[in-house]
Amino acid sequence: MGRSRRTLPEELLLLALDPTTGTTAQPQSLDLGLAGAQLVELALAGRIAPDGDRIAVVSPRPTGDPTLDCALELLRRRGAPVRAVHWIGGPRLGLRQTYLSHLERCGMVHAVAGQMCGVLPTTRYQATDTAISREIRARLDSAIRTGVPPDPRTAALAALAHAVGLGKHLYPGNEGRSSRSRLRDLIRHDPMGGLVAHAVMDVQNGAAAQPRRSPAQAGRPAGPGARTAPEPARGVPAQPHRSAMARVVAH
């Protein structure tokens, strides 16, 4: 059954699971968020650390989690700190399915087979213990309601939830507008979570090719004849790419 301690990718995925339909909200941006959540989890475990807008491995010692250790090894093989946007924007084929299968093995969800249009096979996932999802949601609600700075894990989870566009899923409608705004504001309470969340949004906005300017650089006038590009809108996900119908699984 489920473990007492869950990783951030698992918690983000459980937040995104719709308890009624068994599908995941924001499936395309969620894939980016899961890659970012791995970085935050590795940082919380003391394996990596931010280096400006880059990620540096500070300890290659395995965590004991196979999926996280795979990511850690890939980062180690880079040999030098890697920009967060390049890591998050890289190919992560099957990452969401890997975590869904893991949650199923842990007994947190169960798979329900079905068909789309009576032809294409689909798999939906229903939470087997809704108390786990309620506990995760309660942590976010408490941080939003009380205004008390949350612990780094909850702050990072809030930052990632905002970055992948889960705000409207968690706090829908006009009545949820203030909660969505406060969810966005929680991004400032964890430096690593903030770095990763901004990287997720930059990838969605197509800004991965441009290095992030430091605060000092942002206030520095451009040189003669230099062109300045408009700053990409924060928190406004770009239109996701159309995926092949064969990737309907756990949409």
183-220: pLDDT as tens digits = 999 988 889 999 999 999 999 998 654 554 443 444 44
pLDDT of res. 207: 64
Residues 33, 14 contacting (CB under 8 angstroms): no
Q: How far apart are CA 186 and CA 157, in angstroms?
A: 9
% residues pLDDT > 70 (the chain): 79
- Lowest mean pLDDT segment, chosen from 47-56, 59-68, 201-210: 201-210
pLDDT of res. 158: 95
More confident residue, 2 or 73: 73
Helix, strand or coil for residue 127? strand
Helix, strand or coil for residue 186? helix
pLDDT of res. 107: 86
Q: How far apart are CA 93 and CA 162, in angstroms?
A: 22
What does DSSP say about strands 120-127 and 48-51: parallel, antiparallel, or unpaired?
A: unpaired
Label residue 19 by pLDDT band (50, 70, 90).
confident
Q: How far apart are CA 240 and CA 26, in angstroms?
A: 9
Q: How far apart are CA 242 and CA 29, in angstroms?
A: 12
Provide the 8-state DSSP code for 17.
B
Q: How far apart are CA 226 and CA 195, in angstroms?
A: 27
Residues in the chain: 251
